[in-house]
Structure 1
Amino acid sequence: MTRSFIRPARLAAIGVFALAGLIFWVSFNTAQGTNIRSDSSMLRLSDLIQERSRQNAELDRQAAGLRRQVDKLARRDDGSTRDQDRRLDDLEKRAGLKKLSGQGLTVTLDDAPSNATAKVPGLPDPEPNDLVIHQQDLQAVVNALWRGGAEGIEVMDQRLISTSAVRCVGNTLILQGRVYSPPYKVSAVGDREKLRTALDEAPAIRNYLEYVDAYGLGWKVEEHKAMTLPGYSGTVDLQQAEPVR
């Protein structure tokens, strides 16, 4: 009686081919006859982010209204003196929770046209990253305005407070749960001359202005004799904190 055996090497080869066939089938089933490298999933993600941003903006407005009602009731029944109320108002104003009016200026930054070329003879053609606003550009403007004595700063339509973080992902700004696209506007209340001097003296901004001249990035500074910044309307609760020792 003859017995046949499958050698281990042949058995391993059969297993590899079987696994490869399974991978091809899963790939085909996932693609469902379409290009699995399609950008449609990224487009759906972008739409989702924009929708969530709109929802967050509406929730912020509702929360701000409720917070004003709560503050009004609390002050009516807390038994505080007028002097204590004035001190509280001053603290809230310094924290950015109250509207702020005064003279100031607005800085607008914008991407260059996607087909921009070098505007100065002898410069190389721009790379894609040379034509867009980066996080460090926005941070440079905000930091310069603080150094110039700004009493309050607003980025787009949101007031900055001590826990605010200006972050960019790709060519979009994410600020306090909401998403923005360029052009980006940064407004500050304060002495206009000191604010403009601080912008002119900031090394990071001087570097940015070189790209403005070279490739056409957007830059505009507008002065205002009178302007009003809204109070911050989001939560001020800290999510994480460590005691200072």
Structure 2
Amino acid sequence: MARTSRSSWRLGVPIVCLCAGLLLATTHTVSGGSEIRRSDAPRLVNLVREAQAAVDRLSTQREMLVDQVDNHHGGTPSAAAALTAITNRADALAVAAGLEAMHGPGLVVTLDDAQRDAAGRFPGDASADDLVVHQQDIQAVLNAMWSAGAEAVQMQDQRIIATSAPRCVGNTLLLNGRTYSPPYVITAIGDVPAMQAALAAAPMVELYKRYVLRFGLRYTEQGKDEVDVVAHPPAVRMRYAKPAGPLGY
């Protein structure tokens, strides 16, 4: 009985060792020499924590951006007060900028091309340029009015502001993208005697009046107790020069 038991152990121990060796060899082959279950492998709980941290970080960033937008658009008392001050300042400057219609005493000046005489003829020694109103003639009248302290000026049906530039195109006038034919009517609100004195003293206006006498151009001044000057359309756009070239250099 004892021999049989010892014989079983002698056979069983090598078999167990062989199986253990085969198991170790198989594990090594499958793992490729590395650990099958590494200690730093991501776990579900870690993934959830990282996702929550990302959500918290993005939520904080969102709140900061919302505060910035609110501050720019009057979302806080201080921003609202600043916006109100800017709006009031803009309203105060609207009149000076020509964005408000005006009414008051003023002067109306009319310039027109030369007209034919009773026989249907122009002066024999006149050239074509002598018989029409030019850009410099209109500009001379405008400059004289401004120098006399005109509060508002209108030409034809448009308000004249700092960016307005009347341009001659043949025998017509281009103003803010619109074309006009003579007669050209300029209306200004202000001190009428002062504007008349400035027009009388302006060299270019005096030269135009000589052409009126010599070649039949037309020029009239009419002071009025009440005149209306329209407002310039809103959204005044400023333009500036840009470098030429494909790359802007």
Structure of higher CA gyration radius: 2
- Indicate the larger mover: 146-155 or 225-234: 225-234
1:90 aligns with 92
- Indicate the larger mover: 231-240 or 209-218: 231-240
Q: Which amino acid aligns with 1:101?
A: H
CA deviation after TM superposition for structure 1 residue 87, in Å: 3.6
Are the structure 2 counterparts of residues 83 and 225 from structure 1 closer, same or farther at C-alpha, using a change threshold of 3 Å?
farther
CA deviation after TM superposition for structure 1 residue 227, in Å: 1.4
Are the structure 2 counterparts of residues 159 and 90 from structure 1 closer, same or farther at C-alpha, using a change threshold of 3 Å?
same
CA deviation after TM superposition for structure 1 residue 239, in Å: 2.7
CA deviation after TM superposition for structure 1 residue 98, in Å: 0.5
RMSD of equivalent CA atoms: 2.3
TM-score, normalization by structure 1: 0.60
Are the structure 2 counterparts of residues 226 and 85 from structure 1 closer, same or farther at C-alpha, using a change threshold of 3 Å?
farther
2:160 aligns with 160
Aligned length: 161
1:61 aligns with none
CA deviation after TM superposition for structure 1 residue 230, in Å: 0.9
CA distance in 2, matches of 1:150, 1:116: 38
Q: Which amino acid aligns with 2:113?
A: D
Say whether 1:103 aligns with 2:117: no
Q: Which amino acid aligns with 1:133?
A: V
CA distance in 1, matches of 2:99, 2:175: 17
CA deviation after TM superposition for structure 1 residue 79, in Å: 4.9
1:226 aligns with 226
Are the structure 2 counterparts of residues 189 and 141 from structure 1 closer, same or farther at C-alpha, using a change threshold of 3 Å?
same
CA distance in 2, matches of 1:148, 1:112: 28
Structure 1 gap segments, 5+ residues each: 1-73, 119-123
> Is residue 104–residue 189 contact of structure 2 (8 Å, CA) maintained in 1?
yes
SS of the residue corresponding to residue 112 of structure 1 reads: coil
2:217 aligns with 217
Cα deviation 1:1-40 (Å, max 9, x = unaligned): xxxxxxxxxxxxxxxxxxxxxxxxxxxxxxxxxxxxxxxx
> Is residue 116–residue 216 contact of structure 1 (8 Å, CA) maintained in 2?
no
1:22 aligns with none
Percent identical residues? 42
Are the structure 2 counterparts of residues 237 and 84 from structure 1 closer, same or farther at C-alpha, using a change threshold of 3 Å?
closer
TM-score, normalization by structure 2: 0.59
Are the structure 2 counterparts of residues 170 and 234 from structure 1 closer, same or farther at C-alpha, using a change threshold of 3 Å?
farther
1:196 aligns with 196
Q: Which amino acid aligns with 2:161?
A: I
Q: Which amino acid aligns with 1:88?
A: A
